[in-house]
Amino acid sequence: IVRLSRRSVNAGQSVSRVAIRLLSSGSQQQQQQQEQQQQSRPPLHRDPELAQLLGRIASLDLAKLTPETRALLDRIVRVDHAGEFGADRIYAGQLAVLGGTPTGPLIRHMHEQEQDHLAAFEALIPALRARPTVLMPFWRVAGFALGAGTALIGKEAAMACTVAVEAEIQEHYNAQLRSLLADNPELHADLMRVIARFRDEEAEHHDTGLREDAESAPLIRLCPPPFELAVGLPSSCRSGSELIHNK
Amino acid sequence: MLASIAFRFSAGSRLCVACRLLSTSPCESQIRGQVLDEALARVPDLGWTRSCVEAGARTLDLPETMADLAAPRGGADLALYFIDSCNDKLEAQLKLRSSGLSSAGEISLELVGFACRERLSMIRPLLPYWPAGIATLTGSPSLALESAARLQRLADDICHYAGDRSTDLGWYARRLAVGAVYASTEAFMLQDVSEDLVNTWAFLDRRINKDLAAIRTARQVAGGAFDVAANMLGLARR
């Protein structure tokens, strides 16, 4: 389990390391030179559309932003990075248990999408000079434990966990979109596009989880409301069952 | 909690000093910069005091009430402006030096050494008076937090332009290490009486080669705690 988790963390990190290696001088050069260089540099992300959006976000001149905008971007990138890292660990935990079962490929596909999201935010942290979260070791352990624990209960419980996580993440992304909209819609257009795209992919995961019998997970109605974690990782049973009851 | 406040300050301190404090137009911030630059030239005579800032305003034919706008907290704001202007100059130099740098999580110790030497050299003109300047920043908890935020910003700039791209606890470990190296060398420099500060530069080289060698590569920093835990649980590969 340790080797598996290390490998997936390293895989995610190596994508981002290759992608952000040449970002250091981006902010100083002019737009034209930047575009020319970006054509010859390796892309910021393996997805070309994301690479283009991330490149434009990375080329923001941070000195011209107001302190409130800087603080907002810093907070958003940090929280999103932590959230995607937690989601990545949760799927890794689920895969450690359910990797060989028929749902393995599905979970693996969702895991890969989360790793894409994580790579995007890992590229944005140095680009926007944001501070990463202090709680990385905690998310690493807690996420993996949550994923593996629910997977050990059963496939339906793992799907219920997915549903709850994705519901929480969607709410989070929507709140961030609202705050970006309130701050400066034109300036944050690219970042909003990225977050909206990720939110839609999380919605897909959420619907996939529901399709895969999350509702029939054992004990789902008996779960006591656990305390909410600071970054918004799921209060799994509560929000999952709330969602199902409200549908 | 203190760290979070300091970090919040640091996000703001990255802007021009005046824009952050006064939220004013570029014209007013430029005037503030001119007043405080003139005041810094008068520190040897008048110390880090409000009267020094007033003298600076007088030199520019501005009313002395400009001192209230330029430095509301008197000498402490003058000292903070000195730190900020040095940090801004250093960042401009680092941007030029690091434009060709590409890294895979490694930081360039040469650039860290260069940055520390440059930044410390900026204090040299006011070196005999700098201990008094630092003393003005210990007056209140908010000032202490603000000066800690300046150090955090400095360490962040140095690490970033030296090539740090880490997104985990290594980010914190490196900035703490670089901040500690800079702060200890600055403290050493304040009491150094050697010719041309050779002892300070030797101290700096020793600090960098010993303290920063451990945080040079990302793999070492990030994986360290994980390896310890894995060893303790008997799950290590070796």
When CB atoms are compared, the residue of A22, A23, A132 closest to B168 is: A132
Same domain, A14 and A70: no
Q: What is the pLDDT of residue A166?
A: 92
Domain enclosing residue B229, as ranges: 76-233
Q: Give the tens place of pLDDT for each residue, A214-229.
A: 677 676 655 544 433 3
Same domain, A16 and A58: no
Instruction: Using alpha carbons, list the distances in angstroms from residue A5 to A246, B75, B225.
Output: 35, 53, 15
Q: Choose one of B37, B72, B107: the last residue of a domain.
A: B72
Same domain, B222 and B109: yes
Same domain, B63 and B81: no
User: What is the least distance, in Å, from the CA of A126 to any CA of chain B?
Assistant: 6
**Overall number of domains in chain A:** 2
Domain enclosing residue A207, as ranges: 48-246
Residue A180 CA to residue B83 CA, distance in Å, equals 32
Q: What is the pLDDT of residue A64?
A: 87
Residue B11 CA to residue A244 CA, distance in Å, equals 41
Partners of B99 on chain A (C-beta within 8 Å) are: 24-25, 28-29
Same domain, B114 and B43: no
Q: In sequence order, what are the residues at sequence separation of 6 or more whose Cβ sits closer than 8 angstroms to the Cβ of residue A44?
A: A19, A20, A23, A50, A51, A54, A55, A58, A123
Q: Tell whether the model's pLDDT for residue A187 goes beyond 70.
A: yes
Best CA proximity match to B170, nearest among A125, A226, A117: A125
CB contact under 8 A, B8 and A131: no
Same domain, A27 and A53: no
SS3 A112: helix
Q: What is the pLDDT of residue A98?
A: 92
Q: Which of A7-16, A31-40, B178-187, B225-234 has the lowest mean pLDDT?
A: A31-40
**Which of B153, B165, B226, B237 should one mutate to test binding to chain A, selecting the residue with the greatest count of A CBs within 10 A?**
B165
Q: What is the pTM of this model?
A: 0.76
Q: Among the ranges A8-12, A207-211, A242-246, B215-219, which has the highest mean pLDDT value?
A: A207-211
Where would I find the beta strands (DSSP E) of B93-132?
Answer: none
Q: Tell whether the model's pLDDT for residue A210 goes beyond 80.
A: yes
Same domain, A107 and A6: no
CB contact under 8 A, A129 and B235: no
Q: Give the CA count within 13 Å in the CB-facing half-sphere of A238.
A: 9
Q: Tell whether the model's pLDDT for residue A165 goes beyond 60.
A: yes
- Residue A86's Cβ-count burial label (10 Å; 0-12, 13-18, 19+) is buried
Could you tell me the mean pLDDT of each successive run of 10 residues in chain B, 238 residues long?
A: 51 47 68 94 95 93 89 94 96 85 71 96 96 94 95 95 89 93 96 94 95 72 62 62
Q: What is the pLDDT of residue A18?
A: 53
Same domain, B48 and B127: no
Same domain, B81 and B67: no
Q: Which tokens go with A192?
A: 């909003």
Residue B162 lies in a domain: yes
Q: Give the tens place of pLDDT for each residue, A112-150.
A: 999 999 999 999 999 999 999 999 999 999 999 999 999
Same domain, A111 and A5: no
Residue B26 CA to residue A120 CA, distance in Å, equals 35
When CB atoms are compared, the residue of A13, A21, A67 closest to B11 is: A67
Same domain, A32 and A62: no
Q: What is the pLDDT of residue B15?
A: 47
Same domain, A132 and A185: yes
Q: Which tokens go with A79?
A: 């929280």
Q: Tell whether the model's pLDDT for residue A104 goes beyond 60.
A: yes
Of chain A, the end-to-end C-alpha distance in Å amounts to 36
Q: Which tokens go with A30?
A: 């002019």
Best CA proximity match to B178, nearest among B131, B145, B221: B221
Q: For residue A229, give the DSSP letter.
A: P
**Overall number of domains in chain B:** 2
Please report the ipTM that was assigned to this predicted complex. Answer: 0.76
Same domain, A126 and A235: yes
Same domain, B30 and B103: no
Which H or E element spans position B154? helix B141-161
φ and ψ of A138, to 5 deg: -65, -45
**Which of A9, A62, A84, A131 should one mutate to test binding to chain B, selecting the residue with the greatest count of B CBs within 10 A?**
A131
When CB atoms are compared, the residue of B14, B104, B172 closest to A70 is: B14
Same domain, A26 and A101: no
CB contact under 8 A, B101 and A24: yes
Query: How many angstroms from the chain centroid is the CA of residue B112?
Result: 13
Same domain, B41 and B66: yes
Same domain, A107 and A163: yes
Same domain, B138 and B164: yes
Residue B178 CA to residue B154 CA, distance in Å, equals 9
Which H or E element spans position A207? helix A189-211
| CATH code of the domain covering residue A119 | 1.20.1260
**Which of B9, B96, B106, B167 should one mutate to test binding to chain A, selecting the residue with the greatest count of A CBs within 10 A?**
B167
- Residue type for B218, please? A
| Residue labelled with tokens 């006064």 | B22
Q: Tell whether the model's pLDDT for residue A240 goes beyond 50.
A: no
